[in-house]
Structure 1
């Protein structure tokens, strides 16, 4: 399965090509480059723009969901999830990351400078996780769930770009070689009905 077949469109493009991709049944497996990351300046003082995001145009009229397997997440800063993109200086990555030996759910919202919000979810370890973003009124509502846990709202963030938005899966491996992520779904669906109403769970 190619990247284009995975998303069902021919216009998906990597921000930075990963080490390798392959297909095993319904799983689109991507290997990240050692030292790959997305981050802009805040706290650490460095800028990294060599993470791997597979992006396609997203007008925000539908919600977007990415599903992937956490089984391979074992080392510090192993990370993957959903990227919302406007430019190299304006983007949001939302997903799962290993921090201090525990998987965390979180988001990095960037407008020339990056912030970072995260929360430990050790009970999610080894599960299949879905990250979802729904766009409304110049903002995105980001939610997450596993195959055994209900939706959890993790961030409401400003993303005030009426045009030139893109979305898709991402992964990074700041600390090690050989990190692979198995993505199982990438789809658009009905947008959120309301901030306080969980969207349906689709299989």
Structure 2
């Protein structure tokens, strides 16, 4: 699937091989829009491709988060004012499960991560104006992270995302990236 991807904010250092994508973040990269901090940033790295509504995207993320706001995961973007990013984010001296939904302004939802932050899977399903985020430690069991309204669009830009607002040099490995038809499972079906 990576052969169909293109960069939004291409980093200076990255490589692609048969096993996946490796990215080293540039300095002061982030996605954020206004709330609390009062600024807008749209400089984070995303290696994605277009998808139509009615999709499920999955990616495996491997990295070592060490400094404030180091983050990596998955992004679904309509435009600069409409997007969601989700994954691991380093804050309060630990790796947290985080998601930022932006529809004009950004929110920030964080929670405890009950699994290994250095190796996890994320899944995002966008269907019928709803976005479902799930996380997995093993790629088989998928607890719900977030369920929210998400604007309908003819096109979404979807792919692995990473940022380091306070530094450069976070190395992240992305693999097992796929986009397919929306999984229309029951909300409490964690498979």
Assess same fold via TM > 0.5: yes
Q: Is the Cα contact below 8 Å between 2:53 and 2:154 reproduced in 1?
A: no
In the alignment, the residues of structure 2 paired with residue 132 and residue 43 of structure 1 have an alpha-carbon distance, to the nearest angstrom, of 28
Q: Is the Cα contact below 8 Å between 1:103 and 1:122 reproduced in 2?
A: no
SS in 2 for 1:57: strand
Q: How far 1:148 moved relative to its partner? A: 8.0
Equivalent pairs counted in the alignment come to 190
- Name which of 165, 168, 185 aligns with 1:174: 165
In the alignment, the residues of structure 1 paired with residue 57 and residue 27 of structure 2 have an alpha-carbon distance, to the nearest angstrom, of 28
SS in 2 for 1:8: helix
Q: Does 1:153 align with 2:144?
A: yes
- Name which of 41, 48, 51 aligns with 1:55: 48
Q: Does 1:82 align with 2:77?
A: no
SS in 1 for 2:135: strand
Q: Hey, which of these two has a bigger chunk of strand by percent?
A: 2
Cα 1:149–1:164, aligned 2, differ >3 Å: closer, same or farther?
Answer: closer
SS in 2 for 1:124: coil
TM-score of the aligned structures, taking structure 1 as reference length: 0.86
Q: How far 1:180 moved relative to its partner? A: 1.1
Q: Is the Cα contact below 8 Å between 2:53 and 2:128 reproduced in 1?
A: no
- Name which of 112, 116, 140 aligns with 1:120: 112
Q: How far 1:74 moved relative to its partner? A: 1.6
In the alignment, structure 2 segments of 5+ residues that lack a partner are: none
In the alignment, the residues of structure 2 paired with residue 123 and residue 164 of structure 1 have an alpha-carbon distance, to the nearest angstrom, of 32
Deviations 1:21-44 (Å, cap 9, x if unpaired)? 124661421011110000000011
Could you tell me which residue of structure 2 aligns to residue 29 of structure 1?
Answer: 22
RMSD of aligned Cα (Å)? 1.8
Q: Is the Cα contact below 8 Å between 1:60 and 1:134 reproduced in 2?
A: no
In the alignment, the residues of structure 2 paired with residue 8 and residue 61 of structure 1 have an alpha-carbon distance, to the nearest angstrom, of 21
Q: How far 1:75 moved relative to its partner? A: 1.6
TM-score of the aligned structures, taking structure 2 as reference length: 0.91
